[in-house]
Structure formats: structure tokens, C-alpha cells
Structure 1
């Protein structure tokens, strides 16, 4: 694994940047195959080799340090080029028939997964948060208002790179209002997550009887309370 990066602050520490580029080689990447015909057992195999090339950048800024010192912006992005470089003995299930293929399958030979995307490796992810910190008068505590956004270009859950277990691109939006009272160690937060009610998967697996997918949480609201003593 090789990585080179930088980190620095400018404008009287109101702007901070961090970045890195990296290159990683992996051998015998573990892959999992689940077959309902075999009782639903999960079998793990050493798959092919892979390379991961990428870059990441993050920034933290106070855009109005004099007029509004409580306003902050935090953003970041990551790029990945993650491919199986040598995976000639690929295992999986045919998309049309559901029949298994691979080194130990009966009837269907192994397929070459070389050049496929490594599982759970989106090309791009990005996030941004806007924070507003507001001290209340008369030492009544502090408020924090925040809005979050997240973007993912999508990825595969299987080394086969079948569309049956593919996560397309998706966006997430969240917001929260927090109240802090430091003398009592009290923190109360009203939050909303996935406010656009985006439909995406937390996990998926390609089976011999079709894909099995688990949806991530839909739009959600809640109240959190924390007391430190």
C-alpha cells in the first residue's frame, strides 16, 4: 500500500484542507457465496487479486469568521478505481437460470471476473455538512443547527457484478437541532435522517433462487438525549 497526502490550515485557521492519493494491491480477496439449495449456508473462498487506486479530499471552513463565527462548512469527496486484476476462477449464479458456475460447479465452468469492480467500492462518494452554532443569552446553553448531504455513485454487492445485486446511485439528506447545557452535561438533539425517503439497500446477496436484498432505513425522525455526569 502506498499513500501520499497533505494537511494544512490557512486564513487564520478558518480554512483547513486535507488530501491524499493512494494505491493498494490485495491478494486472494475473500468472497462469499450463499446457496439456498445447499441449506442457505454461506461459503467463503479466496477470490482473485485486486488493485485500488484513489484520492480523497476534505475541507473545513468558517466562511464568515467575523460576521458569523458560529457558521462552519465541512465537505469531503473520495474517488476509487477498485478492480479485480486477476480473477479467472469466478464463482456465482447464472442470471437467467440460477444455476451455479465456478470451479466446483456441475455443468457450468468458472467465469473470468478480471476487470470487474471490487464489491462495495463506489467510484465516487461525497458529503457536506453546514453547521450553525448559536450561544443563547443569559448562559442558558447553546444551540447547534445542522444540515447534511451525502452522495454515492453506486456499487456492486457481488464480484460477479450482476445487476441483480447492484446498488444504483443515491442521495441522502439529513438535519438536526441540538441543545447543549454544559453545567448539567445535557445534550438534547432532534434529528431527521433520509429526509428524501431514498430507497437504497443496506445489503444484498445473489442466490440460486434469485437476489436477496435488505432495504436501508426509510425516512426517520427522532429525539436523542445525553446526560454526562
Structure 2
């Protein structure tokens, strides 16, 4: 597979993806805001759905992807532990989550990782005072990217576009580094609409 297909071009600002987001101005602004939101994706989805769940696809040792090793500052031949999940809102797959970390840091720096199961990763990352986060990076993943192939395998009955928007960032805890990538699935668009304004109850 050509190297250009296996590697995405990760950028430092979501505005760099403006031409790829949408022709609809409101949708473009909402999408950009969701991509750049530094908060927990889990909490954001829970606020906009009646039911939220995590479908665990895999959590096992593997090889670092071609566009990940430089960000993690490890060898391209490094063995890592990876975790892939689908986040579901009201039964619809809305985000594909991919997490990768070096095998040596699981027990020492991320002791909760091996016991996550279907617990969302954000439940630990965003409420641990020892965890720091790097700036978010943004990319468009083409159909040949390894994560796009995994999404297609996980959702064989879905009609996926030829590319999807993604974001990623590094999390640090003590000496360990963990990278989380969120890939936005088509059904997420419906949840990006603004929450309805609170209507106060009229006093009698």
C-alpha cells in the first residue's frame, strides 16, 4: 500500500480542514467546534443522547501505525497496545475511537487501561489530576488509511464516505504517553445541532 495512503496529514488547527468540512456554513462551524472541543467526548455525547454505550472492537498488542510513531517518539517497529471502540449514541455509531500506548507503560503509568472493557476511556483521562494533554491535531482520513479499513470492517452494513474527519492528541501520566484518535462517523452530524434552550417553568 502506498505510504501516502497509510499516513494522514495531521494539522495543528481545524481551520486547515475548512475546505473539507461542508458547504453549509452552520454545519462547518459546528463540525469545527466539535473537532476543537478540549473536553470529554463521552460527556458531550451523553448530554445529547438518551443512551450512550461503548462497543469494544479490540484491545491487544499490535504494531504502531505509520503516522503514529513520530508523534509518540518511538521506533516505527515498536510494539504497542492498541484499543479500538465504537461510541454509540441512541444505538447509532457516532465516533470510532483508537488508543495506542507503548507496552512498557501500561502497568506503570496507565494501570486502569487493561481493565477498561466497555468503560469509556474518558471516564479516567478527564478526571485524573495526574493526566496532562497536548494540543489537538486534525486530519482527513482517506479510504486506504488503516483506521478507515478498521471502521469499514466494524460497520460492514454502513455506507461510509470515502474520507472521514479525525482528531488526535497525546495524554501524559507520569512518564507514560498515550495517544487517542477520534474519527467522526456520519451519524454524529445529527448530534452536532445546538441543544434546545432551557424554557423556564412559569410560576403561577
Larger radius of gyration: 1
Q: Which has the higher helix share?
A: 2
Q: Which has the higher strand share?
A: 1
TM-score by length of 2: 0.22
